[in-house]
């Protein structure tokens, strides 16, 4: 799961960089407004890429989920200040 999300992140960031380079290296020669539009679109990609890379998958353990190991869960609960009775 992690490798797929990381791959998606790098693909999206590569598209972002490619849009910036194409906008100001090629497209601006024909149309500055189109180049600006490409840059505005490219500007929206990094936040979306960060959300894709950091989203929790169905099989991912989250920081506060129990691991299934009672000793480990008790230890983490103690560190977090949770009381187990």
Q: Which residue range is the domain that position 31 belongs to? A: 2-58
Mean pLDDT of 12-18: 96
What is the pLDDT at residue 41?
A: 96
Residue 71 lies in a domain: no
What is the C-alpha to C-alpha distance for residues 76 and 25, in angstroms, rounded to an integer? 53
Asked, for residue 73, whether it belongs to a domain, the answer is no
The answer to whether residue 67 is domain-embedded is no
> What are the pLDDT digits (tens) for 34-69?
999 999 999 999 999 999 888 877 666 666 666 778
74 belongs to a structural domain? no
Best CA proximity match to 54, nearest among 9, 22, 20, 85 = 9
Domain count, the chain: 1
Q: Judge whether 52 lies within some domain.
A: yes
Within a domain: residue 70? no
**Considering the domain boundaries, does residue 6 fall inside one?**
yes
Specify the pTM: 0.65
């Amino acid at each position: 799961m992690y490798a797929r999300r990381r791959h998606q992140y790098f693909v999206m960031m590569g598209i972002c960089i490619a849009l910036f380079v194409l906008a100001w290296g090629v497209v601006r020669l024909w149309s500055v407004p189109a180049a600006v539009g490409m840059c505005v679109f490219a500007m929206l990609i990094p936040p979306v890429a960060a959300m894709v890379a950091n989203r929790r998958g169905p099989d991912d353990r989250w920081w506060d989920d129990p691991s299934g190991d009672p000793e480990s869960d008790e230890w983490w609960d103690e560190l977090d200040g949770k009381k187990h009775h």
